[in-house]
Structures are given as structure tokens and as C-alpha cells.
């Protein structure tokens, strides 16, 4: 059996209204709401708008991080959630999908930091 130090979720959000993807303040609000729903402890957040399009941002949490990169011209947001704590990830993922008003969402999950379990 193998345990992992953390879980990394890649969230693909398509069909998002472009106006939700343009302003850093909107992405920051959405990611902070997701962190709160997960019951994560926020350490810091930083967001940046690019010209002519898009936002990149990170919310550092004590349990790891949430990041986003947006493409308003394509109605797309790429969100990463990495956690090495006991968080309510499903609650946060629902907030992210709802906050960006995505019409289509897919996710992939990866165990990170493989730790072999000693034999019994």
C-alpha cells in the first residue's frame, strides 16, 4: 500500500463568462471563498491581470495552495488545488465551479509525495 503526502487536483473550467475571468479581484474573491469552504487557513493571496487578457493568482494556505490562470477570450480557467491537510475539497471545488459559472468542468487528481507504508 502507498500513502501520499498530499493531493493535487487539476480543475478545468470551460464555458465561463469572460467578465468573470478578466479582473483579479473577482478571481481572488472566488479562490478565497473556495478556501473558506474547504476550511483552509489562508496565509496570503496575490493576483495579477495581464494585458490584454487574463489573470493569474495564488492563494497560499497553510495546507498548501490554490492557483488560477484565466483566458477570458476562451471562457476558460485552469485551477490547481494542492492540499496536504484534511480539507473539505469537494466543498471548495463546488465553489470554484459555481464562482466561475463554468458550464463544463473536469478534474484530475494526483497523489503527490509517495510514502511507502511499512509492511505489517
Per the annotation, the verdict on 27 as an active-site residue is no
Per the annotation, the verdict on 69 as an active-site residue is yes
Q: Of the listed 16, 64, 65, 83, which one is catalytic?
A: 64
84 membership: H or E segment, kind and range = none
Per the annotation, the verdict on 84 as an active-site residue is yes
Q: Of the listed 14, 53, 56, 69, which one is catalytic?
A: 69
37 membership: H or E segment, kind and range = helix 24-38
d(CA 53, CA 82): 25
Q: Of the listed 14, 56, 74, 84, which one is catalytic?
A: 84
The answer to whether the CB of 87 falls within 8 A of the CB of 110 is: no
- Annotated active-site positions, please? 64, 69, 84
Amino acid at each position: 500500500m502507498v500513502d501520499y503526502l498530499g493531493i493535487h487536483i487539476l480543475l478545468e473550467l470551460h464555458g465561463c463568462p469572460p467578465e468573470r475571468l478578466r479582473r483579479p479581484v473577482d478571481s481572488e474573491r472566488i479562490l478565497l471563498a473556495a478556501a473558506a469552504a474547504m476550511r483552509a487557513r489562508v496565509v496570503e493571496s496575490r493576483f495579477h491581470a495581464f494585458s490584454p487578457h487574463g489573470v493569474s493568482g495564488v492563494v497560499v494556505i497553510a495546507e498548501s495552495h490554490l492557483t488560477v490562470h484565466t483566458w477570458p477570450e476562451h471562457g476558460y480557467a485552469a485551477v490547481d488545488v494542492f492540499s496536504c491537510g484534511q480539507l473539505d475539497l469537494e466543498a471548495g471545488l463546488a465553489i470554484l465551479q459555481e464562482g466561475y459559472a463554468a458550464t463544463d468542468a473536469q478534474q484530475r487528481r494526483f497523489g503527490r509525495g509517495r510514502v511507502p507504508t511499512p509492511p505489517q
